[in-house]
Amino acid sequence: MTHALPLLVFSDLDGTLLDHESYSFDPARPALAALDAIGAGVILATSKTAAEVAPLRAALGLSDWPAIVENGAGVLADAVDTETSAYRDIRARLATLPPGFRGFGDMTTEEVAAITGLPMEDAAHARTRAFSEPGIWTGPEAALAPFLAAAEQAGLHHRRGGRFLTFSLGGTKADRMQALIARFAPRLTLALGDAPNDTEMLTAADRGVIVANPHGAPLPALPGEAEGRITRTTRPGPHGWNAAVLALIDQISPNAKGPLNG
């Protein structure tokens, strides 16, 4: 008999499962092991590219699960897709807009490494894009709102993450999440994130966890937070992730044993 998936976790990476400065996930290893022990699934949901996520997914022991990449603009299944027509389209539309935005495609690998803190090889992977263009706003603050309005008129969608402004042709983490929930049919879903581009995913899950981010402004109160469906960690990054996931497993473990796993 095939048993239902007890839990499907959707997790942001930078500042959530990965430490904001070191990019380490070591503090989250106990929770990752506990998830594996109950037969739960973990789907990474990140602004990172497929080229960046593939080795991280393998290091985390999650290669059997798809990953949501480039803020929901695409999904990494088994292998990295090298099709870049959507990315070229985004870059062409950005080129028609007023100046003030510098995307990763406008930067060298050295510049991307400097602003992200990534090693050179990882920065090169961050520039290997297929579905979206992140970057920084360099123009006057007063010109940002008109720029975003012009981008919308050009058919571009934007998301603000923990560090970057990212443009795509549409699709959010929550959009991809719903399709994956329909595919895997878990009994319970959990989403964890720390930035504005995670809010739709957090509110779409059965349970949501806002991971503390001392490097950015706290997220505003979200629907479901007053009722306890969405909670906040006191510790940042993988330390907070680990505590929140273990706490949920403690709550559901009586139902996650026996018929679900045996």
Pick the catalytic residue from 12, 19, 122, 194. Answer: 12
CA distance 73 to 55: 19
Neighbours of 87 (CB within 10 A): 22
Instruction: Examine the residue annotation and report whether 36 is marked as an active-site residue of this protein.
Output: no
CA distance 166 to 163: 10
Catalytic residues: 12
